[in-house]
């Protein structure tokens, strides 16, 4: 599903965020990427989600070399095959909950009725269907993150990338969100960037550890 081959990423200031990283992710479930701040976790996520291009090496998604794609091709691929969940939610506060979930479907050009039905089905699955017409600004942090997950699933993406999705949540809401991520990983790949080792061991079936831009550990895990 996703393959990195000898990927390096060096920024103009000379910082090498990734150093000859190779890995394959081709099974459903949660894959946790852990490491200290500055280890290269977010840069790796950007590569996995085709948000950035490597300085050298290649990135493949479903067998396609995304490092050779145009910006237009990358945008289409991201919207159709990859869902993103971020620490800061990145929801549009002026739109309703339902309209936020509909955004990927609008970009795709799906009919209005299809968008609304899909959004409501997802919101009900995450137990926030009753707030579909509310403004995002009226939601709690945990509810906002559930909306963000629903939006990531709007186009039925099989790859969901999560960058510290519980970083702004209290412990109770963090576990609720991780529970939902575990649930959706039954038929898709969820890649979880986290600094929380306990969460990684509790929910992930595979743990990849980064240090100084290199993979230093990659092992199968038996979640709780």
Tell me the pLDDT tens digit for each residue of 90-137: 999 989 999 999 999 999 899 999 999 999 999 999 999 999 999 999
The phi, psi pair for 4, rounded to 5°, reads -110, 130
Average pLDDT over residues 46-67: 92
Element (H, E) at 213: none
pLDDT for position 1:
84
Confidence band, pLDDT 50/70/90 cuts, at residue 190: very high
Average pLDDT over residues 136-160: 93
Domains in the chain: boundaries: 2-89+157-220
Phi/psi class of residue 83: alpha, beta or left (left: φ > 0; alpha: ψ in -120 to 50)?
Answer: beta
pLDDT for position 221:
95
Distance CA 101, CA 150 (A): 6
DSSP 175: H
Distance CA 143, CA 135 (A): 12
Element (H, E) at 147: helix 141-152
Question: Which option is the CATH number for 2-89+157-220: 3.50.50.60, 3.30.360.10, 3.40.50.300, 2.60.40.10?
Answer: 3.40.50.300
Number of CB atoms found within 10 A of residue 172's CB: 9
Do 133 and 97 form a contact (C-beta atoms < 8 A)?
yes
Alpha helices for 32-140 (secondary structure H): 41-48, 71-81, 97-108, 112-125
pLDDT of 224 over the 80 cut: no
pLDDT of 87 over the 80 cut: yes
Helices (H) and strands (E) in the chain, counts: 7, 10
Average pLDDT over residues 175-184: 93
Comparing 219 with 68, the larger pLDDT belongs to 219
Residue-averaged pLDDT of the chain? 93
Confidence band, pLDDT 50/70/90 cuts, at residue 223: confident
């Amino acid at each position: 599903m996703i393959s990195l081959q000898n990927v390096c990423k060096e920024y103009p200031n000379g910082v090498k965020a990734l150093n000859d990283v190779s890995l394959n992710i081709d099974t459903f479930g949660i894959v946790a990427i852990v490491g200290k701040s500055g280890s290269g976790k977010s840069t790796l996520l950007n590569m996995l989600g085709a948000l950035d291009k490597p300085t050298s090496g290649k990135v493949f998604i479903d067998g396609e070399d995304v490092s050779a794609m145009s910006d237009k091709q990358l945008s289409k691929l991201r919207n159709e095959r990859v869902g993103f969940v971020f620490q800061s939610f990145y929801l549009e506060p002026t739109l309703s909950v339902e309209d936020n979930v509909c955004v990927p479907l609008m970009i795709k050009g799906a009919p209005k009725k299809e968008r609304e039905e899909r959004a409501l089905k997802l919101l009900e699955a995450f137990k926030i269907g009753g707030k579909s017409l509310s403004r995002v600004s009226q939601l709690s942090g945990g509810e906002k993150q559930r909306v963000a997950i629903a939006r990531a699933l709007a186009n039925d993406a099989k790859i969901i990338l999560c960058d510290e999705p519980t970083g702004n949540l209290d412990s109770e809401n963090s576990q609720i969100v991780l529970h939902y991520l575990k649930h959706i990983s039954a038929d898709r790949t969820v890649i979880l960037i986290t600094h929380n080792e306990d969460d990684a061991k509790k929910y992930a079936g595979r743990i990849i550890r980064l240090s100084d831009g290199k993979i230093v550990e990659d092992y199968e895990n038996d979640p709780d």
